[in-house]
Structure 1
Amino acid sequence: MPGLSRASTVANVHQDERLSAGSLVRGWFRTFYGVLMGAWTALPDLLAAVLGVGVVKMTELELLRIARYGEAAHADPLTPRRCQRYLGVRWLVGGMGVGVILMLMLYLATALSMITAWLFDGTWGLVKDGDVVDTQLILVATVPGTLLIFVTLAGITGVAKLDQWLATTMLGTSQQTLLRQRVAELTSTRAEVIEAIDDERRRIERDLHDGVQQRLVALGMLIGRARRTKNDEQLQQLLRQAHDTAGEAIDELREVATRVYPAVLDDSGLDTALEVLAERSSVRVEISNELRESPGTALETVIYFVVSEAVTNAAKHASPSVVEISVWQSQQDIVVVVRDDGVGGADPSGSGLSGLARRVKAVDGGFEVISPQGGPTTICARVPCA
């Protein structure tokens, strides 16, 4: 019903607002705890910087604190010299946190004392001789008092942001350097993608030449012999052979088309495509797909080809009894793990696996092959969620 639908929508909006407000409050308290812990470590930071003792360990503790109570700082590998310089400045931020926290406590204590005095006996102890607190004084003090408390609350967040910025600036890589590295990475990835496409084209050409083309040549020869023969029995035999060869050519052509792009992936989705892949495999395949929703066509294609190539490699070279496929989603990535109990020794630089690595890197993913001699072989790919 329209009325019910509108009421449900309004209720959902109010619920989202409450959740958002609750998240903000929890986030601020987490930030406050981080600044408080940073205030406690200000003096140890100064001593470590002056004495030059334990600077790397103290810096690691500071980075852990920043990551736990705020946003993780992007830091390069730590060296004692860089850590000592960082701690020599970082203690000032900790001291700033001490000042902001003390100011907040003072403002809150003053406000609470005035409100308590106003509600009960009219006097308060923070001012000499017990000044009288009446409604007029409360009204006059409300605006500046609220403003001071708000500024101090914002100051807590500011100290936390300054702490994170200082760690990133003094221990990490500059934004310009990160940008240059990213441009170089994208340029390399683009070149690898082009190379992977060329490899795929060469493989398709090889499959067509060595498989389908040979079948079609044989089919043409059989039909030619059938046209020339005068023996009915031989004619029937040649036609049966031609029919079988045509069927084999069609099957190989379908196989090539599937390797180019499986139509079932568009028609029925990743889950069904993996099941079809398992059914066509010459080895037993066990699938565990925990994805609750589609990650998008591009990522589904990458996941499918990782699994397909890994299963094909295992069946050709590893002689496994079973291939286990696991697909699940973490907080930021979709993880694909293909494990077989074969003989191991897979070469990551081979054309198949290196092509997979380039395909995964094209979507900013990670690819790893663990295949000791004697097995087992584990192939792990991580692709970022869209």
Structure 2
Amino acid sequence: MDDTWQSLSRGRYLRSAGPWRAAGYLAGGALTGIPALLALVLLTGTGLLLVGLPLLALAGIPLGALERRRLRLIDPDPAPTPHRTPAEPGLAAWARLRYREQATWRELGYAVLHGFLLWWVDLAALGILLGVPLLLLTTPLQLALAGDGEVKVLKTWLITDYPATFLCAAAGALLLPVLLYPLGALAGARAALTRALLAPRERELRGRLAEVTRSRARLVAAFEAERRRIERDLHDGAQQRLVALTMTLGLARLDAPPGPLADQLATAHDEAGKVLAELRELIHGIHPQVLTDYGLPGALADIAERSALPVDAHIDPALPRLPESVEAAAYFGVCEALANAGKHSGAARAAVTARHTGAALLIGVRDDGRGGADPAAGSGLTGLADRIAVLDGTLTITSPPGGPTVLSLEIPCPVSP
């Protein structure tokens, strides 16, 4: 279905349902405008100020929802709600969010404008552009129903015979299709005003983008919480059972007499020790305990000590505790950067810097290798960039041929002093 403007511009307006939709849209303005006017007067009336004013700010929300649905008569393009979904359940969380949203106040402004002005204009335009030709068309019927044998057309001309009424009806028949065009144009302009106030496309996109950003942050937080849970389950469950198994096999190995059984117990004991070591590495890779216990400074120092490549660590000792998702992203980013430097760059030494500016965490990893690092070559940097981007952070890599390679992470995370 085309909207009213498209029907008008393509010359098929009179052959479509556009005129009836336009008339229905303007007539429906009274059905919503009168209740809106009564509600505004009631909420601002004497004796309701304490209760009415807080409710008045929210009075435009139901009207806005209804008006967005009414837009379908004129414009088939969806007009979704500009309101965000509260992060918490409950009426209080919903009300707090609504009072802070610009959409709530735009809807209130529309309710005032619609209740005191717009629906009057709708009815006046409908009465002039549609009512006048219809009254002319029905002039013969009006004369037939008149008891005194005369009719006053449009409260202006007095007609007493049928030939004159037929001339009025012919004038109405000619005037009706002409006036349907300004009727459709007015309805289209009216719908455009409603959309601009109640469903602005640019603001809607910005709001939805912000909501996507917040949802991504919530997903990252949930992902980190799940990693922590898996790490705890492995640490407190499977690892403890493997430790007990290793000790039991060790004691059995000591008690067994020399022979094939002792050799098999020794093999089993060694394999259990290897599995335990691998499980510990796995747990450390899921979520390192040092990050939980000592924060990012201790975790980065631990990375530097365990790296196969000599690393100079320059970490601000006053680095505050940051959100778990930020610390985890920075930790694994440094791990990936040092692993790449050790495997691919041929570097002899690397350096790690970390500081917090009060608004963002800045991490730098530099190596003296051959350079030429390409994130698209499957080095893990693409996944790291995606992980940083989820937190609205940026990853920058400078790696000219011949080196050095510098990887910089910046993650916004304001922290109060």
TM-score, normalised via structure 2 length? 0.39
Q: Greater Rg, structure 1 or structure 2?
A: 2
TM-score, normalised via structure 1 length? 0.41
